[in-house]
């Protein structure tokens, strides 16, 4: 019993250090439904680079599923185009047959609009050019999952061999179940659109520009409060009128050599500043807190850099929110991995235009703990390691005692 109590205490202390550090409250939404939750650079700076540690909870601490949508991705919209029904016959307790005209030159998929049902249907699909001779396309196909909790009907895709038959016929087996209500049969047209990239400005802690006339370099030191995902760096340059300058992006990396710690440059990217371009430099997978830029001026005068901006592509969480509930976002637990939600498989069916659920307040538990560091020794890392060491000793002691008791009883 003592051993169990100690292990529970040890696990409780360990879980304390693994708690999420950052929380953000969401404004109550006016109407229930899917919403966009814009992630600010502040929230993302406390998250892992891949955002895998972000979770949404309601007031009862129930986790809410979501998926991530970046505004610089290509979105796909769909448009249903119905075929013309020619005949629709039902033979009670035997079959239902729908004959329709193919208005396309060729199709490899048809879409059926079906009233919600829990029935599973088997079917045969055939094609013809004259409605007299019919040729098989699908034999003993199966339709299931024919219900949608958000609508009274569902669109069901049926993949078929690529065909250009003028007429198509689908026959449902009604020997074991009642007929299903097929409202329409047609095709779905998909249109890809790319929305304009929306970007957020990242607040900087320090931007220091210095000139090195000996090496003929302009050196820029950029420091942030926390590491940030940086997608672009924009230079506003007023003078000279014409210029082409090579530049290098790097960070200092500490290196230990013969018990001495030195800084060495780790080169990250090369780019060119050109008076004929807008001088917006795109970066890939750049997640940094402190870095440098060197501009090679050669024998020219230094550039007059009026402004330097760090930009982050806007990212939103898409989640279904209820108007009568409160929600919070939690992040900062580096032990979490990417969540797996069912909604990820249905994001193509969710409209692109959604209302926004605003983030009202962001708080960081780490800052609160820092205030109590001097008085709360149990919050310090050394205390955790001490508990682990003591735990190991206690485990060894109980194990040795158990072995000794077993020997005495034998």
pLDDT for the residue 161: 92
Q: Are residues 65 and 114 in the same domain?
A: no
Between 2-17 and 381-409, two packed helices, what is the crossing angle to 10 degrees?
160
Domain range for residue 64?
A: 2-72+314-377
Q: Are residues 177 and 99 in the same domain?
A: yes
3-state secondary structure of 406: helix
Whole-Å CA distances, 79 to 155, 164, 168, 190, 265: 11, 21, 21, 6, 54
Boundary residue ending a domain (135, 162, 194) = 194
Residue with tokens 């962001």: 362
Q: Are residues 186 and 92 in the same domain?
A: yes
Q: Are residues 388 and 322 in the same domain?
A: no
Left (φ > 0), alpha (ψ -120 to 50) or beta: where does 61 sit? Answer: left
Whole-angstrom Cα distance, residue 319 to residue 24? 15
Q: Kindly tell me the burial class for residue 241, based on how many C-beta atoms sit within 10 Å of its own C-beta (0-12, 13-18, 19 or more).
A: exposed
Q: Are residues 51 and 111 in the same domain?
A: no
Whole-angstrom Cα distance, residue 258 to residue 375? 38
Whole-angstrom Cα distance, residue 190 to residue 353? 17
Q: Are residues 209 and 288 in the same domain?
A: yes
Phi, psi angles (nearest 5°) of residue 116: -50, 135
Q: Are residues 182 and 282 in the same domain?
A: no
pLDDT for the residue 243: 94
pLDDT for the residue 16: 40
The answer to whether the peptide bond before residue 240 is cis (omega within 30 degrees of 0) is: yes
Rg (CA), the chain: 32
Whole-angstrom Cα distance, residue 357 to residue 28? 7
Residue with tokens 């008076």: 275
Into how many domains does the chain fold? 4
**Residue 78 · residue 189 · CB < 8 Å:** yes
pLDDT for the residue 5: 45
Whole-angstrom Cα distance, residue 108 to residue 300? 63
**Residue 218 · residue 239 · CB < 8 Å:** no
Q: Are residues 127 and 210 in the same domain?
A: no
Boundary residue ending a domain (132, 159, 194) = 194
Q: Are residues 121 and 189 in the same domain?
A: yes
pLDDT tens for the chain, 410 residues long, are 444 444 444 444 444 444 557 888 898 898 999 999 988 888 888 888 889 999 999 989 999 999 988 755 555 567 888 899 999 999 999 999 999 999 887 888 999 999 999 999 999 999 999 999 999 999 999 999 898 888 889 999 898 999 999 999 999 999 999 999 999 999 887 766 555 668 889 999 999 999 999 999 999 999 999 899 999 999 999 999 999 999 999 998 877 777 777 778 888 889 999 999 889 998 888 899 999 999 999 999 999 999 999 999 888 899 999 988 999 999 988 888 899 999 888 888 888 788 999 888 888 775 444 334 344 555 566 777 777 777 778 777 777 777 677 766 66
Specify the CATH number for the domain of residue 228. 2.60.120.260
pLDDT for the residue 171: 95
Whole-angstrom Cα distance, residue 310 to residue 314? 13
**Residue 112 · residue 187 · CB < 8 Å:** no
Boundary residue ending a domain (145, 174, 194) = 194
pLDDT for the residue 300: 95
Residue with tokens 């045969």: 124
Q: Are residues 384 and 301 in the same domain?
A: no
**Residue 5 · residue 13 · CB < 8 Å:** no
Q: Are residues 46 and 7 in the same domain?
A: yes
pLDDT for the residue 169: 94
Write the DSSP string, 175-207: SSSPPP-EEEEEEEEEEEEEPPPPEEEPP-SEE
pTM above 0.75, yes or no: no
Q: How far apart are the first and last CA of the chain?
A: 23
pLDDT for the residue 376: 52
How is residue 380 written in tokens? 């310090």
Whole-Å CA distances, 285 to 69, 75, 204, 296: 17, 22, 19, 25
Left (φ > 0), alpha (ψ -120 to 50) or beta: where does 216 sit? Answer: left
Ranges of beta strands (E only) in 14-115 are 22-26, 33-39, 55-58, 63-64, 67-70, 74-82, 84-91, 95-101, 107-115
Q: Are residues 67 and 88 in the same domain?
A: no
């Amino acid at each position: 019993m003592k051993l169990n109590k100690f292990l529970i205490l040890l696990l409780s202390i360990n879980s304390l250090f693994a708690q999420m550090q950052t929380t953000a409250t969401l404004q109550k939404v006016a109407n229930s439904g899917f919403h966009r939750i814009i992630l600010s650079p502040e929230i993302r700076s406390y998250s892992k680079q891949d955002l895998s540690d972000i979770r949404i909870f309601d007031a009862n601490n129930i986790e809410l599923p979501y998926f991530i949508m970046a505004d610089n991705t290509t979105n796909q919209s769909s448009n249903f185009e119905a075929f013309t029904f020619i005949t629709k016959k039902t033979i009670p307790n035997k079959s239902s047959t729908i004959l329709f005209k193919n208005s396309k030159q060729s199709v490899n998929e048809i879409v059926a609009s079906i009233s919600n049902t829990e029935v599973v249907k088997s079917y045969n699909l055939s094609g013809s050019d004259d409605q007299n001779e019919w040729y098989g396309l699908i034999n003993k196909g199966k339709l299931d999952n024919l219900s949608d909790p958000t609508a009274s009907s569902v669109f069901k895709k049926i993949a078929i061999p690529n065909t250009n038959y003028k007429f198509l016929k689908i026959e449902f087996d009604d020997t074991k179940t009642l007929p299903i209500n097929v409202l329409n049969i047609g095709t779905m047209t998909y249109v890809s659109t790319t929305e304009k990239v929306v970007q957020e400005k990242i607040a900087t802690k320090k931007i220091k520009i210095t000139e090195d006339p000996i090496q003929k370099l302009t050196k820029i030191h950029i420091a942030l409060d926390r590491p940030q995902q940086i997608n672009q760096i924009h230079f506003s340059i007023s003078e000279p009128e014409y210029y082409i300058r090579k530049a290098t992006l790097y960070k200092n990396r500490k290196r230990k050599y013969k018990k001495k710690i030195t800084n060495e440059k780790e080169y990250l990217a090369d780019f060119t500043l050109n008076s004929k371009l807008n001088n917006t430099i795109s970066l890939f997978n750049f997640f940094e807190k402190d870095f440098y830029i060197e501009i090679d001026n050669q024998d020219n005068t230094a550039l007059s850099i009026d402004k330097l901006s760090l930009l982050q592509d806007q990212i939103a969480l898409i989640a279904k929110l209820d108007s009568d509930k409160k929600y919070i976002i939690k992040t900062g637990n580096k032990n979490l991995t990417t969540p797996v939600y069912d909604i990820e498989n249905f994001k193509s069916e969710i409209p692109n235009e959604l209302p926004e659920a605003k983030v009202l307040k962001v708080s960081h538990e780490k800052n609160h703990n820092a205030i109590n560091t001097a008085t709360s020794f149990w919050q310090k890392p050394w205390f955790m390691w001490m508990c682990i060491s003591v735990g190991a000793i206690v485990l060894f002691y109980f194990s040795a005692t158990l072995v000794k008791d077993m020997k005495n009883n034998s």
